[in-house]
Every structure is written in C-alpha cells, then in structure tokens.
Structure 1
Amino acid sequence: MQIKDFKNIYFIGIGGIGMSAIARYFNSIEKNVFGYDRTSTMLTTELMNEGIRITFEEDLNSIPVGFRNKENTLVVYTPAISMNHEQLSYFRKNGFHIMKRSQVLGLLSDNLNGIGIAGTHGKTTVSTITAHIFKSSKLGCSAFLGGISQNYNSNLLLSKNSPWVILEADEFDRSFLQLHPQIALVTSMDADHLDIYGDKFELEKSFREFVNQIKENGILVHKRGLNLQAKGVKTYSYALEEKADFYAENLKLVEGFYEFDLVYPQGIIKSLRFSYPGKINVENSIAACSVALLCGVSENEIRKALAEFKGVRRRFDYQIKEENIIFIDDYAHHPKELRESISSVRAIYPLKKITGIFQPHLYTRTRDFANEFADSLNLLDEVILLDIYPARELPLEGIDSSIILKNITVPAQLCTKQKLLDLIQESELEVVLTLGAGDIDKLVEPIKMMLTEKK
C-alpha cells in the first residue's frame, strides 16, 4: 500500500514540531487524523482547534475504535518516543503499517523539487526565511518547517501549483538520510546529539551522506568553511561578511535592525533591510537568499520578502519591547546557539543589564557541554539556571544544572520553575532572555504578564 491509500493516520508524538506539520498536511487532504502526546501545549491546542483529535493518555483505551483496523491505518511516530511506549508496542505487536516521521516526509517530498535545509543549528530559521521568500515570489512553494512561521502562523505551507517544497532536514537519529533533495543547504556541523552519534566525526560523516543524496545535477550550498563535497552537483558557499559566493557588505545596525548589501555571483543587491533582529539572523537570511537566487527569485522579490519577514516563534521572539523592559524568548539550547543569541541581544542593547533564564535540555547534552554552556552564559550580566529538561532521557547520576553553575563567573543562581516567578518579582530587570528547548516555553506567558504588571 502507498500512503495515499490509508484512510486513518495515527501520530505518536503529534505535538512535536516536525510531526505536527505532517499531521496538518494529512488533515488538509481530509484524512482521519488522531494523535497522542504526553502533555498539552500551545501547539496541540492549535491542532485541536483545526479539527485534529488528540489524546494525552498513553493507555490503549484512548485509541479510537476506527484506528484499530490495521488495513486502513498508518501509524507515524517520532524517534523521540520510547520504544517501550504502550501504544507503539501495541501497533507493532498487531502488525500495523508503521513509519518514522522522516520516512513519511521523504515519501511526500520525493516527487517534488525538494530543498533540504540541514545543520546542527540555524536550520529552522533558514528554512522559514527561505519558505517566506519562495511563498512571496512567483515560484511559490510548499514547506514542512521545524518552527512556527509568524507570517503564516503555521509550520506547514501548501501550494497546489508550485513544484518546490522546503524541508527542514533534521540530523537527530539520522532522520535527514530519508531525504533526496534537489538542493541541500547546510548551516553548521557542530558537535551535538552525541548520545546518537558518539563523537563529532560520526556526526560529520552523516552530513556527508546527506549531501551525497542530492539528486543528479542538483545544488549544494553550505556555510563557508564546512568540509563538504558532493558528486555531480554544483557547490556554493555563503558567509556573513567573509568572502564567499554569497555574503554581506556594508552591514550596519539601524534602529535595532540590520541593513546590508548582498554580494552574489551575478552582482550586488544594494541596501537590503532585514526586519528580523540579530546578527546571526542576517547570516541566516544570506543562506536563504542564496537558495532563492539560485532558483530564479528576483532581486525585488527578495527585497520585499526580507522587509516583510516577521520571524519564527521562539527564535529571537520579542514578547515585550518597551523602553524600561525588554523580554525576548529564544529556543537556543546548544552552547554556540546561546553565544550567538546573547551576542545579538548585546549588540542591540549594549548599555542595558541582560538577565538570562536558561533551561538545559537533556542530561547527556548538559554532561557533554557543561563547560561550553558556562562560557556562553558568561556573556550575560546575570544568569538564572533552571533544572535540566529530560525530554526522552532518564536522569544520569551526578548530572544536574550545578555542573554548569560551578563555571559561571557572572552572578548566577539555581532556581526551580515553581519559584521562578517569585524570583522575577523580586528582581530589578532591564532585558530578560528566556533560553532553552524544553518546556520553558510554558513560562513565557506568565513571565510576560508579571513583567507587564511590574512596568
């Protein structure tokens, strides 16, 4: 059977950002969509408001009767789900058709002109900027994104006519090896997911496998300095201000946003204004523009799209922007992402005190990068460290947030989520930055309300 032949699609981990985009796709083509997730979030609420049914109970009684017919039900799961999950075990034992999220994404995109955007960080923002540029141009596109585009309030974009599809190519669990794009873009290959790969060498090896799956006569674009080659494809590089095939000149900060000239192989686009803050996001926009220009998007279309880009939820996401209090929420959860996010905030607010609230993500990542996390957090004026968010992991003996704290040299303290609002209430704050990929997002609205009341 092919995917189109299934009437029912059951998602295990439907609230995941990548899973939810595929669930939205199947809902849009009028499949019966049902899913499980561990907890209710803003995203699961949005899915339910769109007519998708969701259970937060793992027991088998929560599976609707109609989805227990293995002949017309496809089960899609995320690798973040434990193999011992009660529902997944049930579907396995009873011979259901079961696919990983990445396999489904590969099948859905295989007959289109896929643009696979990969990297240990930056891929969500680059994917979303690229999708916005294409969607705003005569080319159009569909897109499966790893973040919620603020322009479209969704992580799924659909086009009936465009052959282009933007795909966030996730390296976790080697998921991106299910994709065979026409164009691949790689932003970074820093050590991460060492619980999966073991070491950086194995991670880089996986990225090389990914770019060698580019279709014949395709295109590879990568950040300058990455050691990547692919056979039978054209290769281009991009950078922020270093000389590359695509890079910025005359970069300047004007009223909190950057303006620059974009140099590319055919010429220069003068005086672009990117309406999304942060120097790292200028680099991300150059990556997106490189793909767009190579595919035939015009200079004027790029100029208009960059000026109108509204950003990505939880990526340098302003919650409050007032004279006496600034609050920014960011998904940064890797030491390099923290460094880039904090540095971008510092560039915009050089004279203000910046307080970072960081929730480490995963015991293994905290163990592997404790010193690097501390180095990045030392760029703040003060640090509040929350407990580690475990996600899919069980606790590791001796591993908690204190192993980061001991190497932080600026004023810092540990705090539980339960006591955080009380601490904020007592603190003198100017710029507040929430950082992390766990459930810190659930604290954003309460923090916003408290800071608004304190103004």
Structure 2
Amino acid sequence: MNETKNSIYFVGIGGIGMSALARYFRHAGWLVAGYDRTPSPLTAALEAEGIAVHYEDSVDRIPEAFRDPLKTRVIYTPAVPVDHTELCWFRTQGFEVLKRSQMLGLLGEGRRVMAVAGTHGKTTTTTMVAHFNAVAAGEGSAFLGGLSKNFDSNLVLGAGLRMAVEADEFDRSFLQLHPQSAVITSVDPDHLDIYGTYEAVREAFAQFAGQITPGGTLILKKGIELPVERADIRRYTYHVTDSGVDFHAENLRVDGGGYYTFDLVFPGRRIERCRLGIPGLVNVENCVAAAALVWSEGFVSDERMREAIATFRGVQRRFDFWVNDPSVAGGTIYMDDYAHHPAELRAMLSSVRKMFPERELTVIFQPHLYTRTRDFAPEFAEALSLADRVWLLPIYPARELPIPGVASEMILDGITTPRKRLISKERLLEEVAALATGGVLVTAGAGDIDRFCAPVAALVQRKNGGVG
C-alpha cells in the first residue's frame, strides 16, 4: 500500500466488518475517522478508542486531516447508498476509494488466509478458528463478523502468518480473497436482490472456492455440490455426526444445560472427550468445521485443541444465552441470536428444541430487509412454526426502501403455530413482562432487536427472582 498516505476514512464505519478494519489501522498507527448513519455500541467503542465518528452525511463534517487525496485512503461498505454525499465527494476529488472487501484482500497478501464462507454459520465458525489458532496453534490474527467473547473484539492481532477471515458473499465481496484454506458451511439462496437467482449464488461460491491458492485446502459441508475442478488443492467434507465424511463428531453426550461432550474425528486422528464451551448441537457442527480448517494448517497437540474447544466462549448475538441459570428451578431461559435467514433460523430453533424439549418456546423475530421477506416469507413461516409462540416485529429496512405489499404479515399468515401475532417494538417489554415464567424466550434478527437484549434479560431475571 502507498506509504505516503497516513490517514484512512471509513464510510459506514459502524458496521461489524468496517469497525474491525478501523481498529486494525488505528492500531497500526494510522489516523482514522469515519461516518455512520446512527450511533451504536460499536461506534461508541470506536470513539472511546480515539477514532472520530460523526453521524451526518455532510462533506462539511469530514475532518480537515482527511481532505487531502495525497494523504487519505477511503474505505466504504457496499451497504452505503451509491448517492451518499460524502462518498460521491471523495470520488470526484480524486481520492483512492476501496470497498471493504478490497482492503481485506490487500491485507491478506503474504499471509496464510483461512477463510470461512457460507450463507449462515460463518461468524461463529470464523471466531472459533481464531480462538483455536490462538490456543491450539499459538498464533494468528483475525477479522471477524461478530464480537468474540474470548477476545472482546472483532479484531484479533497475533503473531504468525495465519489470518482468519469471514468471507462475506454479500455483493460478491468474498471474490476479493485468495485463501490458502477455506471452509464453506452452507450455500442457500440469499441476497437475491444482488444475485438474482440461486444459480448465480452457487456460481459465486464455486468461483470463490476456485480462488484457493495451489496446494491449499477446501472443506465443504456434506451435501454442498460445487463445480470446482482443481487437482492442485486438497478437498474434504465435514458433518456434525455422519461418519462417512472426513471430519465429524462421535459419541455425543449432552448435559442439562445443552453443553455437548464428543470425540472429534479427523483423517487418521481422533481427539476424545472434547467439551465445547458453549451449548447447542449447531455449535458442535461449527466446531467440527473450525477444527477441520485449523487441522489443515496444523496445531500443536490434541490436548491443546481440547483446551481450545473447552475455553471457547462464543460470539455476541450468536446462540447467545443471557439468562440460563440451572439453579433457578422453574425460571425462564433467555437467549438471543442473529438469525435472519430461514435456514439459520431453522437450525437455531431446532437446536433449542433439542436442548430444552420439555419447555415452552417463545420466539420474537424481527425480519431483516423487504427483499428477503418478499423472497422467503414461506420459508420463514415454516422455520418459525417450530416455536410454541411467535411474535413478529415490523421489518427492519436497513439499506432498503419499503416495497408495496411487503410486510411482516406475509410471514405471519404462513405460520402454523396457533399462538402468533404482530407486536411493536414499543410494546415488546410489556409483552415479555406478561409471559408466564418457566419457558425459553428467544429474540432473533439482524436489525436493531439486539438493543432490547439487556432490558429483556433484566426483566427475565427479575421475574425469575420470584420462582424457585
């Protein structure tokens, strides 16, 4: 990169991937600032770390130190509108302007890039890879799509050449990467506003897999079929329990809190009595995928890998238990999850059902994007029908304008669970307060529903204080 430039400006700095890059450059000694649409805990954390952030799309708000194209590089997220005032000004003034994914690709040059791709499951799996690298291999950096509870960040700075990255398929961003090793967790239809067809999604994933460097490794979840004809890479499969694949788990045992103990099986290697530090069968599958990717680059010992698995603490908003105290007899369990695609919503709810089969399951779901709701309303309804009670919030629009006729009612109408209805964010806490104690409560979605996690958890804990 051009070393005459010493400042970097982020348009959309509050995104999870953008903020990781901002932290990286701040740590490397660059002058960093940026714009985001609204304040959030992430932007507050950036500001506390000394990064200037403003929330008005105005050229006048760009700090003076970032107004010279000879000294400043600009990074933007494709979630920002193409007519964004600041972004347009930077382009017309001759600044070097790069997408977030382009910069991530540049940072990967000369490193051992370990990429996790998939329409769901990639954030937890990537974060596991980062933790397993640190504990079992003793090295590695990472750019994560969520906040790791082990590292208390979405950025990991460690020794060595390993670099774990979440390979995002949105806007074909992952095609900027040329990894040494890669896992693909799922290839489901998503982002059809970008791709148009499911076949185009599959073609993009095949192209990503085809960009693995010669001598590298591709690890696919069983059932994923991609037209990747590469004799110069190793190719493996994984599954949570199927013994017919290269990587899987055996002898699974689950305790009352949903925590699993199992044997981890690699080609020619078995690590017995692994106990994953977070609950849920879906996370055992993520663990198998992450361990397989670390195996492809090597780790110190079985004991160190067993330690890495046991000490993994999860990712904020991924199968994230806020209230789960087994000592409170008859208390409500509360968890939150980022699930915003039908397949990941189904996987999450199925895991919760297996963990707590005797408890009543209530789900509060906030649909994300009008296009995704339009394209997958029946699939969302089918997944949500796994719950005993479903409350739907209005659609979170994110980058989109409303589409006539598209609303949460499209999902509601297809849910077969009798106890279902629409609620507003304004009444969410009131509705939770009226719930009977003793079941499992789940909030899910990729919008701003996470801002209710702390008050919902506090309310549940107060209600639990009156039982047992």
TM-score range, shorter chain: over 0.9
CA distance in 1, matches of 2:430, 2:261: 40
* Match status 1:326 vs 2:333: yes
Partner of 1:412: 420
Does residue 292 (structure 1) correspond to residue 291 (structure 2)? The answer is no
**Residue identity matched to 1:314:** R
SS in 1 for 2:452: helix
Separation of aligned partners in 2, 1:138 and 1:419: 48
Aligned equivalents of 2:68 and 2:221: distance in 1? 47
SS at match of 1:271: strand
* Structure 1 residues 276-298: Cα deviation after superposition (integer angstroms, max 9, x where no partner): 11111100000011111222212
What letter matches 2:253 in structure 1?
A: K
CA-atom RMSD, angstroms? 1.1
**2:246 equivalent in structure 1:** 245
Residue 157 of structure 1 aligns to which amino acid in structure 2? V
SS of match in other structure, 1:272: strand
- Tell me which residue corresponds to 1:436: 445
Give 1:454 deviation, angstroms. Answer: 2.5
What is aligned with 1:397?
404
**Unmatched runs of 5 consecutive residues or more in structure 2:** none
Deviation at 1:230, TM superposition (A): 4.5
- C-alpha separation in 2, matches of 1:354 and 1:230: 45
Secondary structure in 2 matching 1:43: helix
Single out whichever of 162-171 and 254-263 deviates more from structure 2.
254-263
CA distance in 1, matches of 2:56, 2:152: 27
In the alignment, is the contact (CA less than 8 A) between 2:181 and 2:296 conserved in 1? no
- The percent identity for this pair of structures is 48
How far residue 300 of structure 1 moved from its aligned partner, in angstroms, is: 1.3
Question: SS at the partner of 1:5?
Answer: coil
Q: What is the rounded CA distance, in whole Å, between the counterparts of 1:278 and 1:85 in structure 2?
A: 41
1:144 and 1:156 in contact (8 A); partners too: yes
Counterpart for residue 369 of structure 1: 376
Q: Structure 1 residues 151 and 106, CA, compared in 2 at 3 Å: closer, same or farther?
A: same
CA distance in 2 between counterparts of 1:249 and 1:452 reads 36
User: Which residue matches 1:194?
Assistant: 192
Aligned 8 A contact 1:110 1:179 in 2: no
Counterpart for residue 7 of structure 1: 6
TM-score (norm 2): 0.95
Q: Which one of the candidate residues 289, 294, 313 is aligned to 1:310?
A: 313
Q: Is the aligned partner of 1:172 residue 2:142?
A: no
Corresponding residue of 2:48: 49
Q: Which moved more, 1:143-152 or 1:88-97?
A: 88-97
Q: Tell me the residue number matched to 1:23.
A: 22
Q: Partner of 2:151: helix, strand, or coil?
A: coil
1:268 to 250, 255, 270: 270
In the aligned structure 2, how far is the partner of 1:425 from the partner of 1:261? 42
Write out per-residue CA displacement over residues 85-138 of structure 1, whole angstroms, 9 at most, x where no aligned residue.
Answer: 111111111111100000000000111011111000111111000110001134
43-52 vs 371-380, greater mean Cα deviation: 43-52
Shift of 1:450: 2.1
Matched position secondary structure for 1:241: coil
Q: Of 421, 433, 438, which residue of structure 1 is paired with 2:429?
A: 421
Q: Distance in 1 between matches of 2:463 and 2:345?
A: 27
1:259 is matched with which residue: 252, 258, 261?
A: 261
Q: CA deviation at 1:325?
A: 1.4
> 5 Å matches for 1:76-95?
76-95=75-94
Specify the code of the residue in structure 2 equivalent to 1:274. L
C-alpha separation in 2, matches of 1:89 and 1:282: 45
Secondary structure of the 2:270 match is strand
**Equivalent of 1:387 in 388, 394, 405:** 394
5+ long unaligned stretches in structure 1: none
Task: Name the CA distance, whole Å, in 1 between partners of 2:455 and 2:125.
Answer: 29
**CA displacement at 1:70 relative to structure 2:** 1.1
1:202-213 matches, cutoff 5 A: 202-213=200-211
